[in-house]
Amino acid sequence: MTRHGALRRAWHAVRRWFGGLAVPTPVYPGDFTGRVSITYSPHLDGRPDPGEVVWAWVPFEEDHTRGKDRPVLLIGRADEWLLGLMLSSKDPRDDPRRSRNWRSIGTGPWDARGRASAVRLDRVLRIDPRRVRREGAVLPYERFTDVTHSLTRFHRW
């Protein structure tokens, strides 16, 4: 293990225990497969709800033990998990092979620099509600339904 890796693991352990509140880290069971029961029920009350863009840890596809903090549009729930679509400020049209997997949602307060964002349609993430870092914004209902229509068409639900 590299020194950087050991320091990163120690920092995350301290963050989990800070304030005496230990929250066990569940093993990521993999991305959600199957049909999503989509809901829109945002409430800016400090708890993550479908319809909100939140910041959370998103595991890398190739290695679920690694990942990064990024904005996620919450679209529903499955058991104890929230279901979400990751956002990116990179223009998906830059890579024509992947552009059909993304849907533009414009700008919003989830990006402090005011950049336009897109959601990834081909990967439905499981998000531990205890691991959401912060609420970013409520996605307006019209934009949410545009995304969910694109999602259902993409997956042929």
Q: Kindly state the average pLDDT of the residues 15-42.
A: 76
Phi–psi pair at 5, nearest 5 degrees:
-65, -40
Other CB atoms within 10 Å distance of the CB of residue 22: 10
Q: Are 149 and 141 in contact (CB under 8 A)?
A: no
User: What is the average pLDDT value for the chain, to the nearest integer?
Assistant: 85
Q: Kindly state the average pLDDT of the residues 37-59.
A: 94
How sure is the predictor about 145, in pLDDT bands with cuts at 50, 70 and 90?
very high
pLDDT in tens, 85-125: 999 998 776 776 667 899 999 999 989 899 999 999 999 99
**DSSP SS3 for 28:** coil
Write down the pLDDT at residue 64. 86
Q: Are 103 and 147 in contact (CB under 8 A)?
A: yes
Query: Which pTM does this prediction carry?
Result: 0.81
Write down the pLDDT at residue 19. 47
